[in-house]
C-alpha cells in the first residue's frame, strides 16, 4: 500500500544509473507479488521530460518468473513492461507473468513487451488482464524489433501472451502494435478489447509475423481476425 512519486526538485533525486530509469525493476526474481492499490506516478515533478517521462512504472527483466502485479495505478511514464530483453545478443528468459486490474493514465505505453534483435531466449506465459486506459499513447504493444538496426537474424521468442479486458482511450492512432521479427510471435491472444481514440481520434491496430486470435476487438486486428 503506498505511493511512489517523483520529487519536484531534480537535485534531490540521485540518479546514478542511466541504464535503469524505471521506478520498479526486477531481474532474476522467482515468485513476487505487488498488490494493494499502489500508485506509481510523477505528478508534480518538473523533470519528467529529462528522463523520458519517467520510463517504466514497472520493468520485468531477464530471469523473472511467477510475478503477480495487481491493483496498481500507473502514470505518467512508460507503463508496465516485460523487458527490454536480449540486449547485446544476450540470452533472456521471462515466464509466468500475471498483470491484472491496472489503471494507466497518460502513459506512453500500457502493456508492453520489448526484445532486442540479436538476442536469444524467450518471453512466454504472460497475461495482462482487466486494464483501464486513460489517454495512453500505445495501450498494447509487442516490439520484437526493439533495435532494428543491428542487422541480426536472431530474436527472443515471444509466445503464450494474453491481453484480456482492455477498455479506455488511446492518445495515438496506433492503439495496438504487434511488431514481431521473422522468428514470429506465437499464441498471441486478444479478448474483449475496447480501445477508442481520445477526443474522437481514429485508432487502428497493426501487426507483423504474429500468430494467434482476436475476439471482440476494437480496433480490429487484421492479422488475427
User: Which CATH number covers residue 103?
Assistant: 2.160.20.10
Residues forming the active site? 78
44 pLDDT band, cuts 50/70/90, is very low
**Cis peptide leading into residue 76 (ω within 30°):** yes
Residue 142 lies in a domain: yes
Q: Which residue's C-alpha cell is 509475423? A: 209
C-alpha cell at 196: 477508442
Residue 60 lies in a domain: yes
Domain that holds residue 106: 23-224
Distance CA 150, CA 161 (A): 26
Q: What count of other Cβ atoms lies within 10 Å of the Cβ of residue 110?
A: 31
pLDDT score of 221 = 93
Residue 187 lies in a domain: yes
Residue 13 lies in a domain: no
Instruction: Please give the distance of CA 58 from its chain centroid, rounded to a whole number.
Output: 9
Residue 14 lies in a domain: no
Distance CA 143, CA 60 (A): 15
Residue 167 lies in a domain: yes
- Tens of pLDDT, residue by residue over 16-42, are 544 445 567 767 777 767 665 544 544
* Number of separate domains in the chain: 1
Q: Which residue's C-alpha cell is 524505471? A: 22
Residue 71 lies in a domain: yes
Determine the average pLDDT of the residues in 172-192: 94
Residue 51 lies in a domain: yes
- Tens of pLDDT, residue by residue over 88-121, are 889 999 999 999 999 999 999 999 999 998 899 9
φ, ψ dihedrals at 198, nearest 5°: -65, 135
Distance CA 7, CA 13 (A): 7
Amino acid at each position: 500500500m503506498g505511493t511512489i512519486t517523483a520529487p519536484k526538485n531534480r537535485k534531490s533525486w540521485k540518479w546514478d544509473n542511466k541504464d535503469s530509469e524505471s521506478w520498479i525493476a526486477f531481474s532474476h526474481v522467482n515468485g513476487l507479488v505487488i498488490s494493494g492499490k499502489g500508485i506509481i506516478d510523477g505528478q508534480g515533478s518538473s523533470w519528467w521530460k529529462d528522463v523520458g517521462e519517467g520510463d517504466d512504472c514497472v520493468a520485468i527483466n531477464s530471469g523473472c518468473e511467477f510475478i503477480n502485479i495487481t491493483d496498481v495505478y500507473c502514470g505518467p511514464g512508460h507503463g508496465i513492461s516485460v523487458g527490454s530483453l536480449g540486449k547485446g545478443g544476450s540470452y533472456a528468459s521471462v515466464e509466468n507473468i500475471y498483470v491484472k486490474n491496472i489503471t494507466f493514465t497518460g502513459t506512453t505505453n500500457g502493456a508492453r513487451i520489448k526484445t532486442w534483435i540479436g538476442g536469444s531466449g524467450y518471453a512466454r506465459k504472460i497475461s495482462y488482464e482487466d486494464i483501464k486506459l486513460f489517454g495512453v499513447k500505445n495501450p498494447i504493444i509487442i516490439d520484437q524489433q526493439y533495435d532494428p538496426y543491428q542487422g541480426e537474424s536472431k530474436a527472443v521468442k515471444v509466445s503464450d501472451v494474453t491481453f484480456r479486458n482492455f477498455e479506455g482511450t488511446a492518445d495515438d492512432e496506433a492503439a495496438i502494435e504487434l511488431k514481431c521479427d521473422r522468428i514470429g510471435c506465437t499464441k498471441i491472444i486478444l479478448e474483449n478489447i475496447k480501445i477508442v481514440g481520445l477526443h474522437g481520434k481514429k485508432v487502428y491496430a497493426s501487426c507483423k509475423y504474429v500468430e494467434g486470435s482476436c475476439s471482440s476487438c476494437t480496433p480490429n486486428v487484421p492479422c488475427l481476425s
